[in-house]
Every structure is written in structure tokens, then in C-alpha cells.
Amino acid sequence: MNFMEMYEGKIVLVTGGAGAVGSNLTRALAQLGAQVIVLDDLSSAERWNVPSLPGVLFVEGDILDEVKLKRVFNEKPHIVFHLAAFFANQNSVDHPERDLMVNGMGTLRLLEYSALSGVDRFIYTSSGCSIYGSSAPLPLREEFMSLNLSSPYQITKMLGELYCNFFHNHYELKVVKPRLFNSYGPGEVPGQYRNVIPNFIYWSLKGLPLPITGTGEETRDFTYVGDIVDGFLRAGTMESAIGKEFNLASEVETSIIDLATMINEATENKAGVIFTRRRKWDTKTRLLASVERARELIGYNPSTPFADGLEHTIRWFHDNWELIEPSARFGPGISSAVREVTTVSK
């Protein structure tokens, strides 16, 4: 049976299913005939982003709330995709205790409930930027791990992997640990703590200069969310994935200055770019991963060219601008990056 057909009739819990990756995963699962329970407290997501499809049950709540956990595990999920997280680096620097509670304790609770209720599979969402530190050789491979991490988020995302290993070894819970790299695509609402791509598109559509925190020569391995979802769907059913960690990336390096130029051109934004100070936790000048292990284990094959993925994302912004614009959450002075830009340009 094809791995996609295996979701038909399955009950699947997606924590963080209103978020950037989770909303896309929820849609794909529902379209494959799964009954999807989304548990999300909407702390960094919008209700409108949860796909309204038959088979999707939305439960608003915190993964730390035992009542909500009992509610969703009462549905007896076969598979748990745990994506809810306190996102991401800068947010965790600003709020380290909440980061530990959600990413540490929250993940532990999900693992406990999953083990107790005997789920068939638990898929954790690990993070490439959290595991490898900033001095690993490129392309990043799974064997290399660093204890020199540069934000509380990186520490707690690694902690989640370590808890997964414990539950796998001690309780034989069938865990899988995909390590995501710079996901982007439709479904990610811009905001103070969000990633560079949605924020650049948002600012460019508003005719603002794109703030580059560094020299612009920094690179990232941007991975289209559709390719990430494909990796997740494989991770959720294939036997070969059990107990394993593997990168889900695109194996393509793109510099931030090239990204900014592409977005400004595609949106006809004439405001250009503006350079601002590098954030202290942002210690990675280059990010490029190898997906050899995922290719071998689960047949993962990221296939979306960056230009196409960017085009889909910009189209999503145009199509949903009336929802996106009021939902974009930026703190006082828009964001830490733009705050500095504002100061610099005065």
C-alpha cells in the first residue's frame, strides 16, 4: 500500500495545527481521508488558518492544559504529529521560561499521553538550526550534534529530541524526529517572531525597505512547506523512519540578499533593503543540510524549486491580504529588526 493511502480512516492528532507547517499538514491529512484533531492555543496562529474541511476537528487549547490533553486523547488518535512550539529564537530569548514550559514540559506531556494511550506513532518536529550549532561542517549531517547552542529555543528543541529518545528506548514508543530547515510557504502569517520570508513579503507589499540583520551574505536552506509535509507524511507511516532523526531540507543554499532582491522584484517594491545589526543569537552564517539520510530511509525528495515556492507564497499573500494584514502581529515599533531600522534611519 502507498504510504499516502495509509492515512485513510486514521485518527490523527496535530498539535500546532493552526500554524505555518501544521495547517498545511492538517489539510494534506484531511485530503487523504484522515480524521484530524487540531490542538492549538492560537498563541502564534490564526483561527482562519485552520483548514475548514470535513474530518477536521479544531480544539482550542494549550498543550500544557491537562483537560485539553484528556479531551484530545479521548478521541484515541493512532498517530500524533507534535508541532506545537513556542516559536522561535528571538521569542525564546525574550521569554525563556515560557519557551521551556511549552517546548520542554509540553513535549514531555505529549509523550506521556501518547505512551499511556498506546499511539502507533509519535512524530516530533525537531529543528536543524537547533541541533548542529554554528561550527558543524556543511552540508549538515545528522551525526553531528553541538552542545553550544545559541538560544533557549534551540536548547528546548534539542531537549524534545532527547525526551523522544527516552520514550523510544524505555517505553518503546515509536517516535520519529524530522529536523526541519527554514520552512516557508502559504500558511505562515508574518509577525514579530516569524521567519524572514513572510516578513520580507509583508514589508515589501507595504512598500517598506527589507531589513537585513547582518551583511546579507548569510545563507539558509529554505524548504517549501509542501516538501516538508511530504516528509512528514512519510515519517508518519513508514516503518523505516521509526526511532530515526533526519533532515528535511532542500539542499539549496540561498543568501538573504538574493532573497530580498527576488521578493522586491516580484512585488515591485522600490524601497530596497536596509542593513541592521546582526542579532546576538544569530550565529549561523551559512545553513545547508544534506537530506541523504531522509532520501535513503523514507524516499524523501524535495522537488519544489525555490523560485516556484516563493511565487506560490507571494500569491497566497495577495489572495489572503485582507486576512493577513490585520493578523500580522508586530510588537511596539513593528519588530526588533525594524525598530532598529527606524532608529538608524532617523
Ligand X SMILES: NC(=O)c1ccc[n+]([C@@H]2O[C@H](COP(=O)([O-])OP(=O)(O)OC[C@H]3O[C@@H](n4cnc5c(N)ncnc54)[C@H](O)[C@@H]3O)[C@@H](O)[C@H]2O)c1
The set of catalytic residues is 153
Q: How far is the CB of 53 from ligand X (least distance, A)?
A: 17
- Residue 26 and residue 38 in contact, taking contact as beta carbons nearer than 8 Å: yes
- Out of 3, 4, 33, 43, name the contact with ligand X by CB under 6 A: 43
Residues in the chain: 346
Q: Total binding residues for ligand X by CB under 6 A?
A: 30
Q: Which part of the chain contacts ligand X (CB under 6 A), choosing from 79-87, 204-212, 324-332, 334-342?
A: 79-87
Q: Which residues 129-168 are close enough to bind ligand X by CB under 6 A?
A: 157
Which 3 state secondary structure label does DSSP give 220? Answer: strand
Burial class from Cβ neighbours inside 10 Å (0-12, 13-18, 19+) for residue 162 reads: exposed
- Out of 26, 62, 69, 304, name the contact with ligand X by CB under 6 A: 62
User: 29-32 — which CB contacts under 8 Å span 24+ positions?
Assistant: 29/233, 30/54, 30/55, 30/56, 32/4, 32/5, 32/7, 32/8, 32/233
**Strands, DSSP E only, in 185-287?**
210-213, 219-220, 223-224, 245-248, 254-255, 273-276
At 178, phi and psi to the nearest 5? Answer: -65, 140
Q: How far is the CB of 177 from ligand X (least distance, A)?
A: 11
Q: Which part of the chain contacts ligand X (CB under 6 A), choosing from 42-50, 197-205, 263-271, 337-345?
A: 42-50
Q: Which residues 84-123 are close enough to bind ligand X by CB under 6 A?
A: 84-87, 102, 106
Which residue is associated with the grid cell 536596509? 274
Nearer Cβ to ligand X, position 47 or 315? 47
Answer whether the bond into residue 139 is a cis peptide, omega within 30°: yes
Nearer Cβ to ligand X, position 174 or 177? 177
- Out of 4, 11, 33, 42, name the contact with ligand X by CB under 6 A: 42
- Name beta bridge partners: 275: 212
Nearer Cβ to ligand X, position 187 or 209? 187
Task: Mention every residue, 6+ apart, whose C-beta is less than 8 A from residue 159.
Answer: 103, 104, 107
Q: How far is the CB of 189 from ligand X (least distance, A)?
A: 8
Nearer Cβ to ligand X, position 53 or 344? 53
Nearer Cβ to ligand X, position 107 or 276? 107
For ligand X, what does the binding mask look like between residues 4 and 23, x meaning CB under 6 A? ------------x-xxxxx-
Q: Which residue is nearest to ligand X (CB)?
A: 19
Q: Which part of the chain contacts ligand X (CB under 6 A), choosing from 28-36, 56-64, 252-260, 300-308?
A: 56-64
CA nearest neighbour of 256 among 270, 280, 273, 269: 273
Q: How far is the CB of 133 from ligand X (least distance, A)?
A: 15
**Binding to ligand X by residue 56, rule CB under 6 A?**
no
Question: How far is 75 from 35, CA to CA, in rounded Å?
Answer: 10
Q: Which residues 178-207 are close enough to bind ligand X by CB under 6 A?
A: 180, 182-183, 195
Q: Which part of the chain contacts ligand X (CB under 6 A), choosing from 36-44, 132-140, 256-264, 273-281?
A: 36-44
Q: Which helix (H) or strand (E) holds 122?
A: strand 121-124
Nearer Cβ to ligand X, position 100 or 173? 100
What are the distances in angstroms from CA 74 to CA 11, 67, 114, 171? 11, 10, 11, 20
Which 3 state secondary structure label does DSSP give 104? Answer: helix
At 254, phi and psi to the nearest 5? Answer: -130, 135
Nearer Cβ to ligand X, position 17 or 55? 17
Residues within the interface to ligand X (CB under 6 A): 16, 18-22, 39-45, 62-64, 83-87, 102, 106, 125, 127, 157, 180, 182-183, 195
